[in-house]
Chain A
Amino acid sequence: MRFRLSFACMALACAVVLGGCGKKEKEDEGAAAPANAPAATPVDSASAGSVSGTVKFEGAAPKPARLKTEADPYCAKMHTSAPLTSEEAVVGAGGALANVVVYVKTGLENRTFETSKNAVELNQEGCEYKPHVIAVQTNQPVTIINSDDTTHNIHPTPANNPDWNKSQGPKAEKITQSFAREEIAIPVKCNIHGWMKSYIAVFKHPYFKVTGKDGTFDLQNLPAGDYTLGAWHEKYGKSEQKVTVGAKEAKKVDFVFKAS
């Protein structure tokens, strides 16, 4: 009979060891506060240029999937006339691709920028995130609003920033959060409503835009210089292009994504 007991003991030992490992797992240290950040390098608006353009999707536009919201009767009620559809690929007229984050990837390393104090809103309305993708600067406030008559939880799963998970009751008070480190892009999820996903891109500088249904972006007030522009889409991945912007020059750059 001995081996049965030893099996049980072995099992328990495994559990303890595994459990022990678990406890050691990352308990994220708070993100570095920008206490002694160097003073911002001013941009001379008079000589600054700009980059603008359009992001397009090449090929047949994917049909947005219908999202099932019956798991929460409130959410289902909000979409009785038109069902909620997925936003993982939103293609507008002429192949314009929405929800693409276009940003300056390299070329600004020697500069520092002031953090914008304007809060960016992330609204939970009709059991979806509005907007689906947002972009902010490091430490810029993100205001999270629950306009619904149901509880949501907001759970970002960042790679470089600390994890958190907060719940927000029906029409409860706003939650303000910020992210201290650059990251493109942090997935955000509601674990109550599994279909609710959104992304937050975080940059050290203010040169970024999220495309709308027309697929356009423009980055204004960009100091003359050589840059790499990046474009990120949750489903179609990343793309980049080199661009040189002269003083007061308005450059045009377009991005094209294909189904991967």
Chain B
Amino acid sequence: MSKLIKEDIDKFFIAQFESFENSLNGESKKPLHSKRKTAIDNFKEVGFPHAKHEEYKYSNVAKIFSKLFDVENLSDDSFSLSLDEAAKYFIPELNAIRLVFINGVLDSKLSDLDTLPKGVHIQAIKTAADDYADDFEKHFNTHKIEGADNFSELNTAFTNGGVFVKIDANAVVETPIACYYFNDAKNADVISQPRNLVIAEKNSQASLIESYVTLGENTSFTNAVTEIVIEDDCIFNYYKYQNESDQAIQVGATMVHQLGKSVFNGVTLSLNGAMLRNNLNIAIHKEHSETNMYGLYLLDGKTHVDNHTVVDHKVANCESNEMYKGILDGQSRGVFNGKIFVRQDAQKTNAFQSNRNVVLSDDAEVDTKPQLEIWADDVQCSHGATVGQLDLDQLFYLRARGIDKQTAKSMLLNAFASDVLSNIKIEAFRTLIENKINERL
């Protein structure tokens, strides 16, 4: 396999698009396809993000892609997964509306599509584009948002296998919707680009979990985009969980459009992967909304995790809270970039941001950068970032009471992580994460 330069990667994806387009037959006349075509044209302008792009300065996706990915050895679509095998990766004891994706494509046999609770509509995004044409016209890739980049364009261009979720007005959905994305890297490298649209209609409540797994030792490249549209008086909880293989590259975005007065809670949990880049882009369109963003990255080996968050306060009287925490061991690398926009109209905004890191080894590294752009004058904003080591006084205090070093370390790191973990409101899920952390620490 020869090493690809960025231009080769661009060409590869453009060629992929052409063959994808050829496979679409009659579909290419539909409105969805004109969105795809616009997106690939936009993508072509600057191509695959790499280190020369400011937002990818610390996360050279092109470089790791060319290092790990073999475009001549691509997985075909013949893979199927048994429910038993898939179940090993489900969140234990979780009662959920389960959606299973294979290589980015919703698998209706492994998913709970027949037994949906009242007020919940779920179907493949391709057919939903027809069946919910009005919703699509209104919401699919129509809301401009800060932080969208060329990976988002690439994802839009390949919109095909994702899912459409709609929560009806006034529905309170107690069962979380759990999306499990499986990549088949058993015999060859794999690309998956799930594209989802979630609409929470007014006065509804729901929770969405997204979990990513690569099976096998080959490389996977996931470029996932989930758009979430939130109307008035909604509470929407979102969880992203990444415990990927060492050969998994993941980029993509969660784009949250708080169109109505609403509450959004997001928790991003990153435990493993080659390179994981999470864009969390949130736009607040209506007054008296609340936005909470929490994140924990617990890294070792060579895992590289980059969280780029944007919260765009467009209107007055809203509050955003952000707390990301990192624990880094081995040769891992953490990147945090938190942007807060407070527009001229967004008076009386409260925006808080913190990013704290504990570095456990000499070779681990953190880059953290808050970016505040404030155009209004009557606002309260604060931000803080710390990078430190385990506190030796605390460690000694625990040990002086008979607690061995390993346990003491684990207690301190769990305590450090606890104010992120306490925001996981789904108990079975929180238990799983706590167990994973304990295994690691």
Q: Do A and B bind each other?
A: no
Which residues on B are within 8 Å of A, measured CB to CB? none
